[in-house]
């Protein structure tokens, strides 16, 4: 059974802990002791508030479910500790210098960096963009104004530009744009909208190229314990962990 060290003890960590089947969480890390202790009790793991001590524990893979800043701070040392690294806050990889350094370290150590599908679908086929020309590639994300602490009485576009620019301005809200960019090998254009009439985060993907064209629309149900978190994003990590040891690989 794969053993997991969990970096970040928030809502996603709790969802992962509730669904342990073919993997086991044995260590959890958070800077806030009460959060680490709570999740450790829920997952029958050991809690850590010192990262170096956390890395000295016995587990196979680190799952980051904390923040862009945490992924960038700890990513390289995780790989150098001999563990594979699951990055939930994929916006961290929009920093080209950091991403290239992380990939070089993974190659040097013979380790893998895993990026879950997160709050969207279709990344497997979007990877055709790595070998086939893409003419149009757009992500349109619509959220409630309250989720971004914005007042708006009508649908309003608050950002239009490239993925890396959107990640810079909204690092907690459009991680999916970097996941799409990495999958396609082609930076996605992003429109970020707020709409007072929506009660779910909506991601629309428009892609057209030599292969044809596709439109994907995902309406995410918020996590029951934290409306700011997409339940699908947490489920995508669970799916990845459940299939790491599966000899039958689908959709890659």
Which residue ranges are tagged as binding site? Answer: 119, 175
3-class secondary structure, 191: strand
The answer to whether residue 19 is catalytic is no
Place of tokens 């990590």: 237
**Helix ranges, 127-230 (H):** 163-169, 175-184
What separation in angstroms does the CA of 123 have from each of 14, 128, 180, 251?
25, 9, 7, 9
Decide if 120 contacts 176 (C-beta within 8 A). Answer: yes
Per-residue burial over 47-62, b = 16 or more CB atoms within 10 Å of its CB, e = otherwise: bbbebeebbeeebbbb
The catalytically annotated residue of 14, 164, 186, 203 is 203
Distance, CA of 109 to CA of 129 (rounded, Å): 28
Which residues are annotated binding-site positions for NAD(+)?
119, 175
Distance, CA of 35 to CA of 50 (rounded, Å): 13
Residues acting as catalytic residues: 203
């Amino acid at each position: 059974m794969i053993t997991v060290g969990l970096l970040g003890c928030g809502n996603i960590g709790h969802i992962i802990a509730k669904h342990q089947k073919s993997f086991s969480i044995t260590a959890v890390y958070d800077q806030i002791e009460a959060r680490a202790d709570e999740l450790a009790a829920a997952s029958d793991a050991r809690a850590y508030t010192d990262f170096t001590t956390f890395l000295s524990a016995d587990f196979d893979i680190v799952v980051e479910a904390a923040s862009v800043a945490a992924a960038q701070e700890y990513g390289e040392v995780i790989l150098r500790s001999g563990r594979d690294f699951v990055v939930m806050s994929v916006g961290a990889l929009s920093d080209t210098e950091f991403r290239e350094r992380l990939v070089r370290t993974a190659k040097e150590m013979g380790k893998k960096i895993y990026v879950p599908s997160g709050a969207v679908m279709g990344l497997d086929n979007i990877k055709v963009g790595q070998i086939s020309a893409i003419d149009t590639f757009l992500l349109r994300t619509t959220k409630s104004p309250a989720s971004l602490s914005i007042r708006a009485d009508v649908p309003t576009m608050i950002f239009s530009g490239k993925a890396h620019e959107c990640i810079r301005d909204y690092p907690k809200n459009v991680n999916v744009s970097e996941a799409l960019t990495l999958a396609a090998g082609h930076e996605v254009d992003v429109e970020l909208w707020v709409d007072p009439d929506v009660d779910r985060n909506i991601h629309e993907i428009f892609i057209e190229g030599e292969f044809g064209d596709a439109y994907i629309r995902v309406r995410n149900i918020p996590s029951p314990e934290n409306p700011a978190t997409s339940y699908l994003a947490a489920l995508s990590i669970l799916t990845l962990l459940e299939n790491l040891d599966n000899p039958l690989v689908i959709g890659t």
